[in-house]
Structure 1
Amino acid sequence: MVMKRSLSVDEVPDVQKDPHVLTGYRPPKQPWRFYLMSIFSAHNETVNVWTHLIPCIYVLFLMKTYSDELDFASDASSRLLLLLGTSNFTVQFLSACAHLLHSRSVAAYYVTFTLDFLGIAFYSATTGTAQYLLSSEASFFRAMHPWFPWSCVLFSCCYFAANAHAHVTYRGCDPERSMIQVVSFSTMYLWSILPLMHRIYSDIFNGSVDDVTWMHVRHILLVPIGSFFHVSEIPQSFFPGMCDVIGHGHQIFHVIISMSFMIQLEASFIDLQNRRHLDLGRPIDLSITTYLVVLFTSYGYITSVFVRKALSKLKANT
């Protein structure tokens, strides 16, 4: 399918306008196939899509490689790594879908990015749980047992609800929306990395820092670095219209965050290989099934509430 003429910022709905991006917008109200095929065309979302799809493929490759050494079917510890890999794939895939499909309509914009927030919340909850059970120090594990995984669920649900609310209620340029996003994400992220922060501090204090600990340090630091480009809108704020197709800060954010995700997955795999959780005497007694049922039930409820709210808002404005 031939890509139709791209639109300027003045020709698209307000909610789909990206600050400092002046051209490259896809026309709305086209068949879904048009947006799916636009992945092979040059527009202002092409790089955003591919910077998530390529990591998706790499995650599948890593999990296939790990499956040769781990027993995902019967070993609870290995299933935690599988859960981490699944959430890694999910957050990347849902974000790619949001960037690929949101231009079809305002309703599609609201729904796809709500699912994008769901993916981020899911990844945060599972990464906090996996790091707690596979990578933390025994003293932290005992102090937080057994409620830390459930607190990760709570923080991720609060993040999801807060961002879905801001997404539906405020425009993209509103400072209230930015504040909600920054505060909710920072709170959720800092809580999820508590097991690793304690481990890093303990290793430095005891002089026992190894290569895997440094891997955890790297993936933790990459998140605020990537978020800086997302929040600051650099470099496009200095060169409006020049970073529309490539060079946008959100694209840089995608690349850096994906690097963080991959390093974290590899570090967690090495921790599992080293049987860290068993050497420290911790049992993996969390029911993953119960955990996931509660998690997805909560996410499903939040999604239904805010999707209905967004569609009702659109209906009221027409």
Structure 2
Amino acid sequence: ICLRINTEQLLPKEAAPPPPRPAALLRWDEVPEDFVECFILSGYRRLHCSAQECLASVLQPTNETLNFWTHFIPLLLFLSRFGRLLLLRGAGDVPFHHPALLPLWCYASGVLLTFAMSCTAHLFSCLSPRLRATFFYLDYASISYYGFASTVAYSYYLLPGLSLLDAGAMSHYVQHMACPIMLESLLFDLQTRNPTLFVYFYRRYFWLLVAAFFNVSKIPERIQPGLFDIVGHSHQLFHIFTFLSIYDQVHYVEDGLAQFLKAPLAAPTYLGTVGYMLLLTVCLAVVVRKKKKDTA
């Protein structure tokens, strides 16, 4: 009886590549000076990581991990909230393409873009110095976009209902003020007339002040350098309190929308909402492009 032996079974099989191991984290004196954060001594990812390594790092204890998650989780929450308002008819009986919802679309795009760009910048900041600068320029540009988008929502949903902008009610006051909602609460009884706007507006600015405090003071890592490198440093706290501020802002924008739908005072137009946002996007793109050239 002839036995036929498969020679392939006798040869050693090529070993499967081992799963990628997490790259060793670096100290502050092992990374470029531009990458060093004040009072953060360790937990830095190495420069020129691959995109795969950047993605894997969201599950590893680096000093950027919670910077990512403290904005990625809010991004998912706001996606759900705006999806309910705009796509699931949560804003009322109007369809998602109704002109009355155009300011909300602009506002939603600003909120979501801000959180998405923050996540992207923190996640891929170690690809290369040039890409790091580019991502953070886009992050800052998205904040400007969000600020203008908020103004669009305010101008339709909140400001028309203020006594401050009524020429008759303002006959004894100087008009064209810098902060209408704050002045409304000082000159008129906003707390009684619109308690939702009053409470959420002032609580939002309280969160912003707390966020600014942590961002500027670099507390707690300033007090004990090295102890809060991975968990609890100021930028993570800054992210948390900025999320709370926008969360409160969404509350009173949503309430303003509900009031607007009952008695719209001015019909939003594509030119006055989406048109302005597109123009701003072009301007911001020009600025970011110039900054990229200066960095190169």
TM tier, smaller: 0.7 to 0.9
Partner Cα distance (2:162, 2:215) in 1? 36
Q: SS in structure 2 opposite 1:102? A: coil
1:58-77, aligned counterparts within 5 Å? 58-67=77-86, 68-70=89-91, 71=94, 73-77=96-100
Q: SS in structure 2 opposite 1:64? A: helix
Q: Could you list the per-position Cα deviations for residues 85-108 of structure 1 after superposition, in whole angstroms to 9, with x for gaps in the alignment?
A: 221111011011111111222112
Partner Cα distance (1:292, 1:106) in 2? 30
> Shift in Å at residue 277 of structure 1?
8.3
1:284 is aligned to 268
TM superposition score normalised by structure 1: 0.76
Q: Could you list the per-position Cα deviations for residues 116-166 of structure 1 after superposition, in whole angstroms to 9, with x for gaps in the alignment?
A: 1011111111112211221124455578xxxxxxxxxxxxxxxxxxxxxxx
Q: SS in structure 1 opposite 2:23? A: coil
1:45 is aligned to 64
Partner Cα distance (1:129, 1:240) in 2? 42
1:183 is aligned to none
2:3 is aligned to none
CA contact (8 A) 1:110 1:310 kept: yes
Partner Cα distance (2:204, 2:103) in 1? 19
1:25 is aligned to 44
CA contact (8 A) 2:43 2:229 kept: yes
1:127 is aligned to 150
Partner Cα distance (2:186, 2:146) in 1? 24
CA contact (8 A) 1:134 1:277 kept: no
> Shift in Å at residue 41 of structure 1?
0.8
Q: Per residue, is there more helix in 1 or in 2?
A: 1
1:78 is aligned to 101
1:288-307, aligned counterparts within 5 Å? 288-307=273-292
Query: What count of residue pairs does the alignment treat as equivalent?
Result: 262
- The residue type paired with residue 294 of structure 2 is K
Task: Work out whether 1:101 is the aligned partner of 2:93.
Answer: no
| Cα distance change of structure 1 residues 69 and 83 upon mapping to structure 2, 3 Å threshold | same
Partner Cα distance (1:255, 1:99) in 2? 15
> Shift in Å at residue 297 of structure 1?
1.1
1:274 is aligned to 259
TM superposition score normalised by structure 2: 0.82
1:13 is aligned to 32
| Cα distance change of structure 1 residues 297 and 141 upon mapping to structure 2, 3 Å threshold | farther
Q: Could you list the per-position Cα deviations for residues 25-56 of structure 1 after superposition, in whole angstroms to 9, with x for gaps in the alignment?
A: 00111211111221111100000000000000
CA contact (8 A) 1:77 1:134 kept: no
Compare CA radii of gyration and give the structure with the larger one. Answer: 2
- The residue type paired with residue 262 of structure 1 is Y
Unaligned regions of 5+ residues in structure 1, if any? 144-189, 312-318
Which 4+ residue blocks in structure 1 deviate beyond 4 angstroms? 138-143
